[in-house]
Amino acid sequence: MKHTTEPQTRNRAVLHFTRHAVEMLLAMVAGMIVLEPVWSFLWPDLAKNVTASALVMATNMSLGMALWMRIRRHGWASIAEMSAAMYLPYVLFLPFFWTGLVSGGTLMTAGHVLMVPAMLAAMLRRRAEYGA
């Protein structure tokens, strides 16, 4: 009996972890969608400044994620770690953009793509909190 219970428990934990990750990705997207018009109104030329655009994008996603994490009753330390994971890919690629080694489009794409593994790393660091 133990052999069937352990895989079911593990599968349930993986499912819970995956659902939580998807919820957080949706919260990020919501943050971008809701806050982008605000920034466009407040800073009409934002799109002309790639560095600022990247950091504002990370901020929008972090705010959406932070709100959802508070709703899910995560602690401030977890929220800070997850927010750092959101900024990390952009911060790592900004020097390459500033020196002309990558384009603004590459910076934005790399930031978005690498954000997912950065988030998963933050989640795996606190497996019990995220359900795995």
Tokens matching residue 125: 């660091």
- What 8-state DSSP symbol labels residue 132? -
- pLDDT tens digits, 87-121: 999 999 999 999 999 999 999 999 999 999 999 99
Rounded Cα gap, residues 47 and 79, in angstroms:
27
Amino acid at 105: G
Q: What's the CA angle centered on 80, arms 23 and 76, to 5 degrees?
A: 85
pLDDT for the residue numbered 14: 85
Q: Where are the alpha helices (DSSP H) in 43-131?
A: 50-71, 76-98, 104-125, 127-130
Cα(34)–Cα(55) distance, rounded to whole angstroms? Answer: 16
Check whether 35 has a pLDDT greater than 70: yes
pTM here is 0.85
Contacts of 18 (CB under 8 A, 6+ apart): none
With tokens 């489009």, the residue in question is 105
pLDDT at 53 over 70: yes
Q: 83: pLDDT confidence band, cut at 50, 70 and 90?
A: very high
Rounded to the nearest integer, the mean pLDDT of the chain is: 91
> Interhelix angle for 104-125 vs 2-42, to 10°?
140
